[in-house]
Amino acid sequence: MATGLADPLSHRLSVDPILTNAIVESVCKGLVMCGHKTRCVGLSEVPTSTGESVTGMIGVHGRVSGFVTVSMSEQFAIEAVEGLLQDHYEKLTSQVIDGVGELTNIIVGGIKGALANTAWAFPHITVPSVIIGGGYQIAYARGLTFLAATFENQSSESMLLRDRLVQVSVSLLRL
């Protein structure tokens, strides 16, 4: 499924394909838990601005140190958490925000497991933080390995492209 998609893309990147595949597989599996099928539609080795209004963030530490972000629109956050919790939400609530933190935890946990016996291993993660609102910027230190993967949700309910996109960014410094 996702492995076949990541392989053709990753051969043109200088980022380790093990890292790429770990991200793609973990995001696809994590969003399936929310009832959403996704596909990777883009990879970037430089930070990109998503402009999204809900971002989960978790710090990681081990053989590498850094953080992982999971960014999405408010609408997709609500839809994903509805699928995860099997409940209905009309708007962004504290339950939805907690759910985005849990979804971030699921995705980072999958990446952590996939990278456990590699040079990218990080056995330690922080509790998730959730940023609400767009227009923020993250400053990245020099020397980080950065990979952003953009996924499109296959939902027929979302009319706008921005409401179907999820971006997962990993920034890691090898120790």
Residue 66 vs residue 10, higher pLDDT: 66
pLDDT at site 15: 67
Residue 11 vs residue 161, higher pLDDT: 161
Coil, helix or strand for 151?
A: strand
Q: Which residues of 12-22 are buried (b: 16+ CB within 10 A; e: fewer)?
A: eeebbeebbbb
pLDDT at site 154: 79
Under the banding of pLDDT at 50, 70 and 90, the label for residue 7 is low
Q: Measured over all CA atoms, what is the biggest interatomic distance in the chain, rounded to whole angstroms?
A: 44
Q: Where are the domains of the chain?
A: 2-174
Whether this prediction's pTM lies above 0.85 is answered by yes
pLDDT at site 3: 47
Superfamily of domain 2-174: CheC-like (3.40.1550.10)
For the stretch 18-67, pLDDT in tens is 999 999 999 999 999 999 999 999 998 887 766 668 999 999 999 999 99
Structure tokens at 135: 């227009």
Q: Supply the mean pLDDT for the chain.
A: 88
For the stretch 102-143, pLDDT in tens is 999 999 999 999 999 999 999 999 999 999 987 777 877 788
